[in-house]
């Protein structure tokens, strides 16, 4: 199988825990304004598992959410994606625009097409995105002010993947 796109790389599903943000098992950290919360620089670790072949890969890098003129954030991800023992540079660009409801976002591909909506007001959100005959189902969870996670399950005739991404906020040193 060819390597999956770098934005589709997984690890184990997120677990809630008691941490500095005060969340306990089964709880999530509510975010009043997703765009304000995501702004800045995040360290990224992603695992990708092909459920059909058992192959695993991983991505390590950074994601920067910077202001867009007119509102919203430009999401620029860069790092190294390793698949079948071969590391390659990988990048991805998305646009996070103000959503329909206050504090939410519409996540769009670089070319402007809608990817999914994002509402983290409860600290957790499930999104879907059809891609040809495949279906992407993403679960987003916020653990605290400096940690969040996404888990994408991709299924269909072309793909059978689980991609888990952990984000840790980088703080000015």
Query: Sheet of 134-144: strands edge to edge?
Result: 114-118, 105-109, 86-98, 73-83, 56-67, 40-50, 160-169, 147-155, 134-144, 124-131
Q: What are the tokens at 4?
A: 């999956």
Question: Within a 10 A sphere around the Cβ of 3, how many other Cβ atoms?
Answer: 18
pLDDT bucket at 173, cuts 50 / 70 / 90: low
pLDDT(78) > 70: yes
Tell me: pLDDT of 151 over 60: yes
Q: Do 156 and 130 meet the contact criterion of CB atoms below 8 Å apart?
A: no
Nearest to 165 by CA among 89, 73, 85, 62: 62
| Rounded CA separation 105/8 (Å) | 20
At 25 the pLDDT is 53
pLDDT at residue 166 tops 60: yes
pLDDT single digits (tens) 79-129 = 999 999 999 999 999 999 999 999 999 999 999 999 999 999 999 999 998
- pLDDT tens sequence across 25-64: 568 999 999 999 999 999 999 999 999 999 999 999 999 9
13: confidence class by pLDDT, cuts 50, 70, 90: very low
pLDDT of 20 strictly over 90: no
How far apart, in whole angstroms, are the C-alpha atoms of residue 78 and residue 89?
7
The pTM assigned to this predicted structure is 0.83
More confident residue, 163 or 6: 163
The larger pLDDT score, comparing residue 120 to residue 16, is at 120
Average pLDDT over residues 128-138: 88
């Amino acid at each position: 199988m060819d390597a999956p796109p770098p934005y589709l790389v997984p690890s184990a599903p997120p677990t809630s825990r008691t941490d500095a943000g005060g969340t306990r098992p089964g709880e999530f950290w509510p975010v009043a304004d997703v765009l304000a919360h995501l702004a800045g620089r995040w360290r990224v670790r992603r695992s990708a598992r092909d459920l059909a072949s058992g192959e695993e890969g991983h991505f390590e890098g950074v994601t920067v959410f910077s202001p867009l003129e007119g509102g919203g954030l430009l999401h620029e991800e860069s790092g190294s994606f390793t698949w079948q023992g071969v590391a390659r540079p990988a990048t991805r660009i998305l646009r996070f625009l103000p959503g329909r409801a206050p504090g939410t976002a519409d996540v769009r591909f670089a070319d402007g097409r809608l990817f999914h909506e994002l509402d983290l007001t409860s600290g957790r959100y499930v999104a879907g995105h059809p891609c040809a005959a495949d279906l992407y189902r993403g679960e987003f969870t916020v653990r605290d002010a400096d940690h969040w996670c996404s888990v994408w399950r991709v299924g269909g005739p072309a793909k059978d993947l689980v991609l888990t991404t952990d984000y840790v906020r980088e703080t000015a040193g």
